[in-house]
Chains A and B, each alone.
Chain A
Amino acid sequence: MLEVVNLQCTRGDRCLFSGIGFTVGEGELLYLYGHNGSGKTTLMRTLCGLVAPTDGEVCWKDLPIRKQRDEYAAELLYLGHKNGLKDDLTGVENLLVACRLAGVSVKEDKAWSVLERMGLRGHEDLPARVLSQGQQKRVALARLLLSEAPLWVLDEPFVGLDVAAVALLEAVLAEHVARGGMVVLTTHQEVALTSGKVKKLRLGWKEDGCV
């Protein structure tokens, strides 16, 4: 279980958010929303341990994550704004390197079939730099299909995806939640997530619909 207690983050002398607290248990999905600049990405990065909070604590299985960095990293999958793809590597190579680095051993034919499921048939062995933005996102998201991590932290995973890919990602998320996995995600578009328990958390001071 992921537990966040009284989390605060300040950048310079600007307080991005404070007093944030929530839990994400098995089979739950937390949906973070808020206006631009409300601190969603910073909160996501804090959850992963990339940013140190100014106050409060992020706990995984009742232990602060800063005390169990490697153990926590093995159970976490984070996909940020940047896809983490190498321009000069092919889709398959990128996927293999990313998975192996995260401690998941993957056979090459498995990677090919996963990329095919992500709708990249015929593009698996092209260098990432010639793929379109949506296709690059698909390669990055292919990691979800191979991941054994129970906690997924996804920052804007739907950006740049076409309708078919959005549906596919929704199915993958639902599958993960149904297995007892946990998901924290931000998105600006309405996404139908039916299975499992969905929690919502709004960041920022603006009401919905205000500019």
Chain B
Amino acid sequence: MFSAFRIIVARDLLLAMRRRSDVLTTLFFFVIVVSLFPLGIGPELNTLRLIAPGVFWVAALLASMLALEKLFFVDYQDGSLEQMLLAPQPLSVLVLGKVLAHWLVTGLPLVLLSPLLGLQYDLSTATIAVMMFTLLIGTPALSLIGAIGAALTLGIRGGGVLVSLLVLPLYIPVLIFGAGAVEAEASGLGGAGHLSMLGAILLLSALAAPLATAAALRISAE
């Protein structure tokens, strides 16, 4: 079972390496959206500090959304999804592998780049650290939840728009607790409660989302 997980992760990482443009689009999208706000608002540091958590999190949400479309679609098109459905391992394990690989190439780069972007918003080192941590535990949850929507809209014409409508409402809790943790920390209240909630969302989605995604894939592939 673990070997199938490893094979899928290795295969998808190799494919991402061979086709880097897909990875870079998501990353640059995030960078550009986050950078537009300081340019538009101007050098008002207080305002920028105030809106930074929200802007970062909304940009992360949209970037994650953008990358979702490709998650299962290529596999569906070339027939390798059929082979995954017929593999003798539980489909949810393969799904988890795919989501992990997807997060490593689309989610993790955002987390690693966020401190640099945080400088544009005049954030303190402590705030940047909290922001990075929330993104680190929040973006995998986004990928996991988004996978359900991607699987449900597979093979539907205009699925890209539909997936946004399906998934964005489900992202709201992650947005609230992710941005909330950074704000609470910056205002000196301490973000421990928010972070615990974010961790709980991650655990819950790691348990439930692969099962739901697997079920959705079986329906979509029929």
Binding site for B on A (CB under 8 A): 48-52, 70-71, 73-74, 76, 78, 80-89, 93, 97-98, 100-103, 127
Q: Is the CB of B78 within 8 A of A50?
A: no
From A88, A93, A100, contact of B19 by CB (8 A): A88
Q: Which A residues touch B82, using CB under 8 A?
A: 50, 78, 80, 82, 84
Contact in complex: A86, B7 (CB < 8 Å)? no
Q: In the bound complex, do residue B86 and residue A50 qualify as a contact, i.e. CB atoms below 8 Å apart?
A: yes
Instruction: Kindly list chain B residues whose C-beta atoms are within 8 Å of the C-beta of A80.
Output: 79, 82
Q: Which of the segments B10-18, B34-42, B109-117, B135-143 contacts the partner chain?
A: B10-18
Q: Choose among B3, B18, B79 the residue that contacts A84 (Cβ–Cβ < 8 A).
A: B79
Flag whether B84 is at the interface (Cβ < 8 A): yes
Interface centre among B15, B77, B88 (most CB of A within 10 A): B88
Query: Which of these, A50, A76, A83, A88, contacts B18 with CB under 8 Å?
Result: A88
B11 touches A97 (CB 8 A): yes
13 contacts between A and B (CB under 8 A): A50-B85, A50-B86, A70-B88, A74-B88, A76-B86, A78-B82, A78-B86, A89-B15, A98-B80, A100-B3, A101-B7, A101-B83, A102-B86
Determine whether the beta carbon of B90 is less than 8 Å from that of A102: no
B104 at the interface (CB under 8 A from A): no
Q: How far is the CB of B8 from chain A (nearest CB, A)?
A: 8
**Interchain CB contact under 8 A, B7 and A100:** yes
Q: Are A51 and B78 in contact (CB under 8 A)?
A: no
B221 close to chain A: CB less than 8 A: yes
Q: Which residue on chain B has the smallest CB distance to residue A42? A: B222
- Which listed residue, B7, B80, B86, touches A85 by the CB 8 Å rule? B80
Given the contacts A52-B222, A84-B82, A97 and B7 also touching, CB distance less than 8 Å: yes
Q: State whether A86 and B78 are in contact (beta carbons under 8 Å apart), knowing that A98-B83, A101-B7 are contacts in the complex.
A: yes
- Closest CB in chain B relative to A116 CB, distance in Å: 23
Contact of B78 with A101 in the complex, beta carbons under 8 Å: no
- Provide the bound-state CA to CA distance between A127 and B17, in Å: 14
Inter-chain pairs besides A93-B14, A97-B7, A103-B87, 8 sampled, C-beta below 8 Å: A50-B86, A70-B88, A76-B86, A78-B83, A85-B78, A85-B79, A85-B80, A88-B18
Identity of the chain A residue whose Cβ is nearest the Cβ of B15 in the assembled complex:
A88
Give bound CA distance, A97 to B77, whole Å: 17
Judged by a CB distance under 8 angstroms, whether B196 is at the interface is no
Give the residue of A51, A73, A100, A102 whose beta carbon is less than 8 angstroms from that of B222. Answer: A51
Complex contacts, B90 vs chain A, CB 8 Å: 70
Among the interface residues B15, B19, B90, which one has the most CB atoms of the partner chain A within 10 A?
B15
Cα of A144 to Cα of B143 in the assembled complex, Å? 35
B11 close to A48 (CB less than 8 A): no
Using Cβ atoms and an 8 Å threshold, which residues of chain A touch B3? 100
Residues in chain B near residue A127, CB distance under 8 A: 18
Q: Given the interface contacts A50-B221, A83-B79, A87-B78, does A101 sit within 8 Å of B15 by beta carbon?
A: no
| B126-176 with Cβ < 8 A to chain A | none
Interface residue B47 (Cβ < 8 Å from any Cβ of A): no
Is residue B4 contacting chain A, with contact meaning CB distance below 8 A?
A: yes
Q: How far is the CA of A98 from the CA of B79 in the complex (A)?
A: 11
Q: Could you tell me the distance between the alpha carbons of A39 and B1 in the complex, rounded to whole angstroms?
A: 34
Complex interface: chain B residues within 8 A of A76 (CB): 86
Q: Does B124 contact A (CB under 8 A)?
A: no
Smallest beta-carbon distance B177→chain A, Å: 36
Chain A residues contacting B25 (CB-CB under 8 Å) are none
Which of A48, A87, A93 contacts B86, CB < 8 Å? A48
